[in-house]
């Protein structure tokens, strides 16, 4: 198992390098010089040249890239053009907000979507099924900003239950979470429904019925766990979408999260902030998907044993040989 985890963690390296190439290319390809956005229009040529050298922009692109990667690995994501603060620090203060909203939204989506999807599958073609499907499609078809505004209208303006904008305590998180969670609801209900429909037609469900098991236990204990693999993959994908796509929702609710940070950086041509933000999101996305992959091993024992019995690759062979050698010496 450890071997498998190590292998998957090593896999992150080429993925992150790939992301860095793209992120770096954003700046290299985009027309316009960051120097122009940093200095006022009446700056002298000397000042310009000085700043260009300071930012390393006079170097050839490959050199710039290598320097960028080196800095990123050591945790230096550059300095924000607008605030003159280290980008990493700025991101880290905003990240928890985005993560809370994102995982809260996933929790809402899963906790509502999986039971509703299951209900929909068990009562296929009934009116319950139709209501669930229509409801989740309505949420999916409504743009997030629109859904967010409706929720503000109802829960903040009319009912005065929850704050509408800004960050003023835990209650402020509820509406953004609900907005993203509800708009992703359809994804979870649909995938749960189709996965469950497949599972409840399996022979082992009939075996469970032949044992005299109740329908509730059959659905929850026998079927749901088998249906969960596609649902887990969906969770992995959703986390990625929601982290990146939180931009609009964070703007609607005035949440100072990573999405809003990147959005502001784009308008200000603040390249280090854009690059740093994208890199951070990519890293989180890959880590979440790694966790999702690992969870498969616990959901599906067949995968677990194939992971356990997977053949040793060259690195593991080398590592084993090394360990054996040190053991021999000792």
Partner 1 sequence: MAEHKDTPIVEVENLTVHYETDDGIVEAVNNVSFHIDKGEVLGLVGETGAGKTTIALSLMKLLPVPPSHVVSGTVRLDGQDVGVLNEHHMRRLRGSTVSMIFQDPMTALNPVKYVGDQIAEVILLHDKCSKKDAMLKACEMMKTVGITPERYKEYPHQFSGGMKQRIVIAIALACQPELLIADEPTTALDVTIQAQVLEMMKDLQRERGMAMLMITHDLGIVAEMCDKCAIIYAGEIVEYGTLEHIFDHPLHPYTVGLMESIPSLDKDVERLKPIPGLMIDPTNLPQHCSFCERCARKCARCEQDDPALVEVEPGHWVKCFCAGKEDA
Contact positions toward partner 1, by CB under 8 A?
202-204, 206-214, 222, 225-226, 299-302, 305
Taking residue 181's Cβ as centre, other Cβ atoms within 10 Å add up to: 25
* C-beta separation of 163 from 172 below 8 A: yes
Cα–Cα distance between 241 and 207 in angstroms, integer? 39
- The least distance separating partner 1 from the CB of residue 285, rounded to whole angstroms, comes to 28
Closer to partner 1 at the Cβ: 211 or 322?
211
CB of 133 to partner 1, least distance (A): 19
- Residue 306 CB, shortest distance to partner 1, in Å, is 10
Of 98, 94, 102, 254, which is closest to residue 165 (Cα–Cα)?
254
- Alpha carbons 251 and 309: distance in angstroms, whole number: 49
Q: Could you tell me the smallest distance in angstroms from the CB atom of residue 130 to partner 1?
A: 17
Closer to partner 1 by CB, 85 or 207: give it. 207
CB of 64 to partner 1, least distance (A): 51
Of 52 and 213, which CB lies nearer to partner 1 in the complex structure? 213
Residue positions counted in the chain: 330
Do the beta carbons of residue 94 and residue 264 sit within 8 Å? no
User: Closer CB to partner 1, residue 158 or residue 309?
Assistant: 309
Based on C-alpha coordinates, what's the Rg of the chain? 25
The distance of closest approach from Cβ of residue 229 to partner 1 in the complex, given in angstroms and rounded to an integer, is 10
Q: In the bound complex, what is the minimum distance in angstroms from residue 214's beta carbon to partner 1?
A: 7
172 CB contacts (<8 Å, ≥6 apart)? 162, 163, 166, 253, 255
Report whether 84 contacts 91 (CB < 8 A).
Answer: no
The answer to whether 185 and 179 are in contact (CB under 8 A) is no
Which CB, 52 or 300, lies closer to partner 1? 300
- Taking the least distance from each CB to partner 1, the nearer of 208 and 239 is 208
Residue 297 CB, nearest approach to partner 1 (Å): 12
Q: Shortest distance, CB of residue 195 to partner 1, whole angstroms?
A: 13
Shorter beta-carbon distance to partner 1: residue 128 or 226: 226
Q: Which is closer to partner 1, CB of 60 or CB of 212?
A: 212
Nearer to partner 1, 11 or 204 (CB): 204
């Amino acid at each position: 198992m450890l071997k498998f985890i190590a292998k998957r963690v090593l896999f992150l390296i080429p993925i992150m390098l790939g992301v860095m190439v793209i992120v770096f290319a954003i700046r290299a390809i985009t027309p316009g010089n960051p120097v122009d956005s940093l200095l006022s229009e009446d700056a002298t040529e000397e000042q310009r040249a000085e700043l260009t050298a300071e930012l390393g922009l006079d170097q050839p692109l490959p050199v710039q890239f290598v320097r960028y990667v080196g800095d990123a690995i050591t945790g230096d994501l550059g300095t924000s053009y607008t605030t003159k603060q280290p980008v990493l620090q700025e991101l880290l203060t905003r990240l928890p907000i985005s993560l809370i909203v994102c995982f809260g939204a996933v929790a809402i989506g899963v906790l509502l979507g999986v039971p509703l999807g299951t209900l929909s599958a068990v009562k296929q073609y009934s009116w319950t099924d139709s209501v669930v499907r229509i409801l989740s499609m309505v949420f999916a078809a409504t743009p997030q900003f629109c859904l967010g505004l409706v929720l503000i209208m109802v829960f903040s303006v009319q009912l005065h239950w929850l704050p509408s904008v800004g960050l003023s305590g835990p209650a402020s998180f509820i509406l953004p979470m609900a907005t993203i969670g509800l708009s992703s609801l359809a994804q979870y209900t649909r995938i749960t429904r189709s996965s469950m429909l497949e599972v409840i037609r399996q022979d082992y469900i009939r075996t469970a019925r032949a044992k005299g098991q109740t329908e509730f236990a059959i659905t929850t204990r026998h079927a749901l766990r088998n249906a969960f693999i596609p649902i887990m993959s969906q969770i992995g994908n959703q986390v990625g979408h929601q982290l990146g796509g939180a931009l609009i929702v964070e703007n609607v609710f005035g949440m100072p999260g990573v999405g809003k940070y990147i959005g502001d950086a784009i308008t200000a041509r603040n390249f280090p902030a854009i690059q740093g933000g994208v890199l951070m999101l990519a890293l989180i996305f890959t880590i979440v998907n790694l966790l999702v992959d690992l969870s498969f091993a616990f959901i599906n024992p067949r995968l677990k044993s194939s992971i356990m019995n997977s053949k040793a690759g060259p690195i593991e062979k080398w590592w084993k040989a090394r360990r054996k050698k040190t053991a021999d010496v000792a």
